Amino acid sequence: MMNRKTFLKNSSLGALGLMAHPYIVSRQAAKYNLVLIGTGWWGTNILREAIRSGEVKVTALCDVDDAQIKKCQEEVNKLCDDRPKVYKDFRECLEKEKPQIAIVATPDHWHALIAIEAMNQGAHVFLEKPISHTVLEGAAILKAARNNKRTCIVDFHRRYSPHNVSGMEFLKSGKVGAIKEVKAFVQYAMGPGKREEQPPVPAGLDWDMYCGPAPLMTYNTAMHPRGWRHYRALGNGQLGDWGPHWFDQILWWTEEIAPKNIYSAWTMGGRDTWSDTPTTQTVVYEFESFIASWDHSLFNSHREKKSESVGTYFYGTEGTFHMGWQQGWTFYPNNQNKEIIHQDPQLDQPDGQNIKLVWADFLKCIKSGQLPHADIAHGRQATNMALLGMLSAQGGRSIRWDDANNKILGDKAAKKLLKRNYRGGWKYPV
């Protein structure tokens, strides 16, 4: 088995993992004024690690839902003595607070407008994945980061987790052999679900602002706060949610930056809900030197597999390598006489993630001006793979992608799907 301690000691990423992170911090330790935009479960997870770093002062919490803000305030009160102001409109929050750091953890359809406005106002941005809801939004975010000379990091904590780092070292060592096939997958048996209720919009929730540039949808209890990913107006289903994490692992491994051809086959149904994203989906991505694919099912966890039901398989001439999550990574040699090699994960609890390592790199890069390991450019490439897969599904045909020019080749109808019309007075970013 690989000597993980030796590898981490010689790795800059490993050095991040050895840093100490206090649980309770005082205001005297704070350095950067910070606002959190999107105070739900995951936004609060990120904020928790920001506070523990001892280098921020939380000046504001912004969300369209009073109930979300209240829960987040309770968590802030446990961790530090900051008493942040409360806002419902991110524009007012950014204009009045002028933060040095903004965490953007809203539903996907808001990512571009908020991240770009934050950077235009001078803030460095910690952006949740996927970075955008449509392809051209992602290009606009990258442009804003570079034009404003701001650090924009994406919450790809799997780029930092110790077993992902050591696993990538193993992959790049050549021990898996020549790799021509890669498969990313998520197989969670989530069941058919139930028809959700459609009650009046709860008091304290600004539903019009929640929908924002997206079509004004009918509120339902399954959509907010957790189910919005399965509604195309707000997210891009399982592919848009999980895909960027595992596509980023593929792009981290290869020297190629984008596929040239994409095709998706999918089914929808079996859920007694109003959601409109695929329940099963397969996407094939043709690169220059290998074929990658995506596969998900909401109904079958594929218990016949040796590995856990999430991750990425790298199929090499020497064996199969599985980059996983809660079970670490495993190499299955083709030679049956050789032993299986395994690396256990090291994950922070209670969420089973490693956000603190991403945050440490974020602060380091703000200070140095260097690009982070999970830079926005990586976020754009991994997000594009998910969005182009959904675009192919929506169009019902293969698409040819020219990444250098950020366009689809020879398909006028598909080109129109790279962006969408915004509702009301919201303007699509350029």
The encoded tokens of residue 299 equal: 């109904």
What is the predicted pLDDT for the residue at 236?
A: 96
**Residue 118's CATH number:** 3.40.50.720
Give the Cα-Cα-Cα angle 33, 39, 41 (nearest 5 degrees): 125
Residues 56 and 127 in one domain: yes
- Closest to 263 (Cα-Cα) out of 282, 244, 290: 282
Residues 211 and 323 in one domain: yes
What is the predicted pLDDT for the residue at 369?
A: 97
What is the predicted pLDDT for the residue at 192?
A: 53
Residues 127 and 22 in one domain: yes
DSSP per position, 305-374: SSS-SEEEEEEETTEEEEE-STT-EEEEESSTTSPPEEE----BTTTTB-HHHHHHHHHHHHHH-PPPTT
Residues 92 and 153 in one domain: yes
Torsion of CA 384, 389, 395, 401, to 10 degrees: 50
* Cα–Cα distance for residue pair 132/134, rounded to 1 Å: 6
In sequence order, the 6+-apart residues with CB closer than 8 A to the CB of 245 are 129, 156, 158, 382
- Tell me what the pLDDT averaged over the chain comes to: 91
Bridge partners of residue 56, in order along the sequence: 32
Q: What is the mean pLDDT of residues 156-174?
A: 98
Residues 142 and 246 in one domain: no
Residue 9 lies in a domain: no
Q: Is it the case that residue 20 has pLDDT exceeding 90?
A: no
> Among all chains, which residue has been given the structure tokens 């329940």?
279
Q: Is it the case that residue 19 has pLDDT exceeding 80?
A: no
Residue 354 lies in a domain: no
What is the predicted pLDDT for the residue at 193?
A: 61
Residues 72-129: tens digit of each pLDDT: 999 999 999 999 999 999 999 999 999 999 999 999 999 999 999 999 999 999 999 9
Residues 304-356: tens digit of each pLDDT: 887 899 999 999 999 999 999 999 999 999 999 999 999 999 999 878 899 99
Q: What is the mean pLDDT of residues 167-183?
A: 98
The SS3 assignment for 237 reads helix
Q: Which residue has the higher pLDDT, 194 or 135?
A: 135
- Closest to 235 (Cα-Cα) out of 277, 266, 203, 205: 277
* Cα–Cα distance for residue pair 29/223, rounded to 1 Å: 39
**Pair 38, 128: CB distance under 8 Å:** yes
Residues 187 and 215 in one domain: yes
Give the Cα-Cα-Cα angle 293, 256, 346 (nearest 5 degrees): 70
Residues 139 and 198 in one domain: no
Residues 50 and 173 in one domain: no
Q: How confident is the model at residue 191 (pLDDT cuts 50, 70, 90)?
A: low
Give the sign of the dihedral formed by CA 167, CA 171, CA 172, CA 174. positive
The encoded tokens of residue 33 equal: 């004024």
What is the predicted pLDDT for the residue at 222?
A: 85
The number of distinct structural domains making up the chain is 2
Residue 117 lies in a domain: yes
Residue 10 lies in a domain: no
Residues 208-243: tens digit of each pLDDT: 999 999 999 999 888 898 889 999 999 999 999 999
- Closest to 149 (Cα-Cα) out of 112, 122, 115, 114: 122
The encoded tokens of residue 12 equal: 């800059």
* Cα–Cα distance for residue pair 266/288, rounded to 1 Å: 25
Residues 35 and 97 in one domain: yes
What is the predicted pLDDT for the residue at 8?
A: 36
Residues 138 and 187 in one domain: no
What is the predicted pLDDT for the residue at 27?
A: 42
Structural domain containing residue 43: 17-158+364-375
Q: Is it the case that residue 262 has pLDDT exceeding 60?
A: yes
The encoded tokens of residue 235 equal: 């997210």
Helices vs. strands in the chain: H and E counts, helices first = 13, 16
Residue 153 lies in a domain: yes
Q: How confident is the model at residue 302 (pLDDT cuts 50, 70, 90)?
A: confident
Torsion of CA 161, 165, 166, 172, to 10 degrees: 160
Q: Is it the case that residue 30 has pLDDT exceeding 60?
A: no
Residue 171 lies in a domain: yes
**Residue 277's CATH number:** 3.30.360.10
The SS3 assignment for 145 reads helix
Residues 119 and 198 in one domain: no
The SS3 assignment for 56 reads strand
Residue 141 lies in a domain: yes
Q: Which residue has the higher pLDDT, 303 or 205?
A: 205
Instruction: Tell me how far apart the terminal alpha carbons of the chain are, to the nearest angstrom.
Output: 49
Torsion of CA 184, 190, 192, 194, to 10 degrees: -130
Torsion of CA 34, 37, 42, 48, to 10 degrees: 20
Bridge partners of residue 333, in order along the sequence: 319
Percent of the chain with pLDDT over 70: 91
Residues 207 and 147 in one domain: no
Residue 429 lies in a domain: no
